[in-house]
């Protein structure tokens, strides 16, 4: 009796100790093939650096289509993993439109829209019938008095809802980690956007600049005024420019003076980084708005050839046409009856990048408009072609006449044999000054002839960073409001900026590959009787079989 009591006590003590240790020390094992539930070290680092309470409201609740239920399930599982790492992370799934009438729902949607939350329409299939429902695939992260909205549904061009949800699940960890980063980390990097050589306007750059401002301090900057100013010297402007970590030159249309070029050159020599979207071709859609619907593409000389050549790059002024191209939307009808019809337009090349490069992996096609191409030259810097046209490319010599009548002519593949052409590239390393062994435009004490390790990005099209504008409102960068297509321009440019500013620790999350199987709703409904029978009869047969086996074994045991 004593031994029995002692054994029971020992078992109780062991269980209590095991329960205590498991509550203090635990480990989750991710047995999925793609490591879906393995949290990256970058996300863990963000959680470690955020000691205060983190609140996450997820607007995926209530009646949802099957695809969104999968997104909800994956989001919940990911949040559970994050909460196991950060005990002060609290999350809740909500339906902000639950039990509201139409007027109340509209008021809630307006309040959410002020925070950047946009609802979407989805379809529920029930008993073979389709029902439209409003879905809000967003989450809001709150930390230390700051809030940010996170889109959980990725915009993917020419895709089904299932493909969009699958792409969204791949980026769930990135989206949540990126949102936490926005509200918990300070902005310590500075970006200057040049505004002095006829660059894209603030409205045309609004979405790109707004996206940058979520992570960095962004400010306009002028240089050319020093050529006419007596109050400030080029040396002082250069000193001020050195305070910025990155300079963006967004489609200049006026030739750069030697003073500006030398300031940018010495900025680069001192370790500053340049992101240049240069348009070597003069051509805009507005030029086609004439009775003949004909325009002439002309070469644009920005006086940058000597500078870029010394850095190991060269812009080509041949106009690129590509069979793999975007659509041009043309208006038909008048007044309220105006509609837009999309036509394939080979002057809008859709460029893709190397899947092994973290900047371009898993990107949607990037849209270029009336673009030239570029070459990389043999210099000490390391070059990487990031985006290129397809192999079915034609390079048109300028000047060239363009006509809207081309949309009625079938594309002849025999004319598109120029091969793939580089459209965007990155050079990294130590650059040689473009003014080495040359007369300088102004006196600069201790001018550098060789740079510190730095980087230069060059695009052969300035419109790569231009968003469309609808009635004075800027649209998302990469969104074509006439055709409804989404392109990867913003994601690509943000990847470039993150990489150049050594802020690429979350880029791997953006490129995470997750394969999620989906249920075929139509097929399952058509075969519902079969699967209902299987789900009811198979468990019953297993139970009956186990019961008969148990009785047979019992009878056999006591028969002897």
Q: Following CA atoms 407, 408, 411, 415 in sequence, which dihedral angle do they give, to the nearest 10 degrees?
A: -80
Rounded to 5 degrees, φ, ψ at 504 are -100, 15
Helix/strand/coil for 555 = helix
pLDDT for res 41: 84
- Regarding beta strands 479-480 and 485-486, do their DSSP bridges make them parallel or antiparallel, or are they unpaired? antiparallel
Q: Is the pLDDT of residue 457 over 60?
A: yes
* Mean pLDDT for the stretch of residues 331-352: 83
pLDDT in tens, 235-256: 999 999 999 999 999 999 999 9
**Beta-carbon contacts of residue 98 (< 8 Å; ≥ 6 apart):** 61, 62
Q: Is the pLDDT of residue 515 over 60?
A: no
Domain with CATH 3.40.30 in the chain: 20-183
pLDDT for res 246: 97
Tokens 């879906």 sit on residue: 36
pLDDT in tens, 71-81: 899 999 999 99
Give the torsion sign (CA, 74, 78, 84, 90): negative
* CA distances for 309 relative to 270, 314, 431, angstroms: 19, 6, 11
* Mean pLDDT for the stretch of residues 251-274: 97
5 or 472: whose pLDDT is higher? 472
pLDDT for res 161: 67
pLDDT in tens, 34-54: 555 678 888 888 899 889 999
10/12 Cα distance (integer angstroms)? 5
In the beta sheet, which residues pair with residue 394? 321
Q: Which two tokens stand for residue 236?
A: 């002082």
* Mean pLDDT for the stretch of residues 370-398: 95
What is the CB-side half-sphere exposure of residue 39 using CA atoms within 13 A?
22
Mean pLDDT of the chain: 86
Helix/strand/coil for 454 = strand
pLDDT in tens, 162-182: 777 777 888 888 889 989 988
In the beta sheet, which residues pair with residue 395? 320
pLDDT for res 331: 79
Rounded to 5 degrees, φ, ψ at 493 are -65, -35
Among the ranges given (200-209, 224-233, 288-297, 303-312), the one the predictor scored with the smallest mean pLDDT = 224-233
Q: Which fold has domain 20-183?
A: Glutaredoxin (3.40.30)
Q: How many CB atoms lie within 10 A of CB 33?
A: 8
282/487 Cα distance (integer angstroms)? 23
Q: Which two tokens stand for residue 211?
A: 């996206």
Q: Is the pLDDT of residue 365 over 90?
A: yes
pLDDT for res 335: 63
What architecture is domain 190-502? Answer: 3-Layer(aba) Sandwich (3.40)
pLDDT for res 167: 77
Sheet with 146-151: list strands edge to edge. Answer: 89-93, 54-58, 138-143, 146-151
Q: Is the pLDDT of residue 518 over 70?
A: no
* CA distances for 46 relative to 83, 85, 171, 214, 495, angstroms: 13, 11, 16, 16, 19
User: Where residue 217 falls among pLDDT bands split at 50, 70, 90?
Assistant: very high
188/207 Cα distance (integer angstroms)? 21
* Mean pLDDT for the stretch of residues 533-552: 80
pLDDT for res 258: 96
209 or 4: whose pLDDT is higher? 209
Give me the percent of the chain exceeding a pLDDT of 70: 86
pLDDT for res 521: 55
- Regarding beta strands 422-429 and 382-388, do their DSSP bridges make them parallel or antiparallel, or are they unpaired? antiparallel
* Mean pLDDT for the stretch of residues 359-373: 92
User: Contact 74/204 with Cβ under 8 angstroms?
Assistant: no
Domain with CATH 3.40.50 in the chain: 190-502
Q: Is the pLDDT of residue 463 over 70?
A: yes
């Amino acid at each position: 009796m004593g031994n029995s009591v002692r054994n029971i006590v020992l078992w109780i003590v062991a269980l209590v100790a095991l329960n205590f240790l498991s509550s203090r020390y635990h480990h989750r094992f991710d047995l999925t093939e793609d490591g879906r539930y393995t949290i990256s070290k970058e996300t863990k680092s963000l959680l470690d650096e955020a000691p205060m309470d983190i609140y996450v409201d997820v607007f995926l609740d209530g009646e949802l289509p099957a695809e969104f239920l999968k997104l909800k399930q994956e989001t919940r599982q990911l949040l559970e993993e994050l909460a196991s790492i950060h005990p002060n992370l609290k999350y809740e799934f909500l339906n902000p439109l639950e039990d509201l009438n139409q007027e109340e729902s509209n008021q809630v949607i307006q309040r959410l829209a002020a925070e950047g939350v946009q609802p979407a329409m989805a379809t529920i299939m029930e008993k073979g019938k389709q029902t439209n429902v409003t879905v809000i695939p967003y989450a809001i992260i709150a930390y230390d008095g700051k809030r940010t909205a996170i889109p959980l549904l990725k915009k993917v061009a020419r895709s089904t809802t299932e493909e969009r949800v699958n792409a969204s699940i791949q980026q769930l960890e990135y989206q949540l980690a990126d949102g936490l980063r926005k509200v918990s980390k300070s902005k310590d990097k500075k970006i200057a956007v040049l505004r002095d050589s006829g660059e894209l306007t603030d409205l045309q750059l609004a979405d790109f600049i707004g996206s940058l401002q979520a992570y960095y301090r962004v400010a306009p900057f002028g240089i050319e005024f020093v050529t006419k100013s007596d109050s400030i010297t080029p040396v002082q402007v250069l000193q001020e420019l050195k305070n910025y970590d990155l300079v963006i030159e967004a489609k200049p249309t006026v030739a750069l003076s030697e003073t500006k070029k030398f300031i940018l050159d010495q900025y680069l020599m001192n370790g500053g980084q340049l992101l240049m979207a240069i348009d070597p071709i003069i051509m805009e859609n507005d030029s086609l708005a004439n009775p003949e619907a004909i325009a002439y593409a002309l070469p644009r000389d920005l006086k940058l050839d000597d500078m870029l050549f010394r850095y190991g790059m060269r812009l080509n002024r041949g106009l690129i046409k590509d069979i793999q191209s975007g659509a041009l939307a043309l208006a038909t009808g008048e007044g309220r009856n105006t509609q837009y019809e999309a036509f394939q337009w080979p002057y809008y090349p859709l460029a893709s990048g190397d899947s092994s490069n973290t900047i371009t992996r898993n990107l949607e096609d990037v849209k270029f408009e009336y673009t030239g191409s570029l070459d990389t030259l043999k210099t000490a810097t390391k070059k990487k072609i990031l985006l290129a046209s397809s192999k079915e490319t034609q390079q048109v010599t300028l000047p060239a006449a363009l006509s809207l009548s081309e949309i009625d002519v079938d594309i002849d593949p025999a004319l598109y044999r120029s091969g793939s052409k580089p459209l965007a590239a990155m050079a990294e390393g130590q650059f040689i000054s473009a003014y080495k062994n040359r007369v300088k435009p102004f006196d600069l004490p201790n001018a550098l002839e060789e740079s510190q390790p730095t980087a230069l990005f060059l695009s052969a099209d300035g419109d790569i960073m231009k968003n469309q504008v609808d009635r004075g409102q800027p649209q998302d960068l990469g969104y074509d409001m006439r055709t409804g297509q989404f392109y990867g321009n913003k994601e690509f440019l943000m990847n470039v900026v993150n990489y150049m500013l050594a802020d690429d620790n979350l880029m791997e999350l953006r490129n995470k590959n997750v394969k999620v199987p989906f249920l075929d709703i139509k097929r399952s409904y058509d075969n519902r009787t079969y699967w209902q029978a299987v789900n009811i009869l198979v468990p019953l047969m297993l139970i009956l079989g186990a019961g008969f086996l148990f009785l047979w074994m019992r009878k056999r045991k006591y028969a002897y």
